[in-house]
Amino acid sequence: MATGIAVRFECTCSRLRRFQPFPMAGATIIGGHVRLTMAGSIAQCHHERYDGSGYPNGLSGAQIPIEARILNLADQYDALCNSRCYKPAFDHETSFHIISEGDGRTVPQHFAPRFFKPFGTWRGNLPRSTRLADCVRMFFE
């Protein structure tokens, strides 16, 4: 921020509508090359929610590609564990609680139910610097 003053971002409907096209723009930028198919899928669908409340297409459940469902959880976890201009970084326990129990903005229904079992078993077991990479890797084991 230019002034250095942390300002809480109020997400109004008009602001949200301005941000919703960015996943489609990302997919367009990545393009249609066969080697970039998964990257395009992730870019386009990583803000879809398992319960259908996401964007840009309102996909739900198995309609959302598995790679986008994984990144959705990893991205949310990463956002919670790192500071933003409007919030401090949360520890693993707090981040896990927000994802698994909800906090008013994030609810468990946003994520694929089968992801909670392995995610919950990692409580405090991952080194801070590798959590995101380990989180994604463990979904494929």
Whether residue 16 is contained in a domain is answered as: no
- C-alpha 100/C-alpha 106 separation (Å) is 9
Q: Using a pLDDT cut of 70, give the percent of the chain over it.
A: 67
**pLDDT per position as a tens digit, 108-124:** 888 888 776 666 665 55
State the residue range of the domain holding 94: 22-138
Inform me whether the pLDDT recorded for 51 exceeds 70: yes
Predicted TM-score of the model (pTM):
0.70
| Residue 4 covered by a domain | no
CATH assignment at residue 122: 1.10.3210.10
Instruction: Tell whether 14 is covered by a domain.
Output: no
Number of domains in the chain: 1
Residue 63: is its pLDDT beyond 90? yes
Burial of 136: CB neighbours in 10 Å, binned 0-12, 13-18, 19+? middle
- Supply the pLDDT for residue 8: 47
Residue 72 resides in a domain: yes
Q: Is the pLDDT of residue 4 over 50?
A: no
**Is residue 47 predicted with pLDDT exceeding 80?**
yes
Q: Per-residue pLDDT averaged across 75-89, rounded? A: 89
Residue 33 lies inside a defined structural domain of this protein: yes
Pair 5, 86: CB distance under 8 Å: no
Q: Is residue 15 part of a domain?
A: no
Within 48-130, where are the H helices? 66-81, 92-101, 116-121
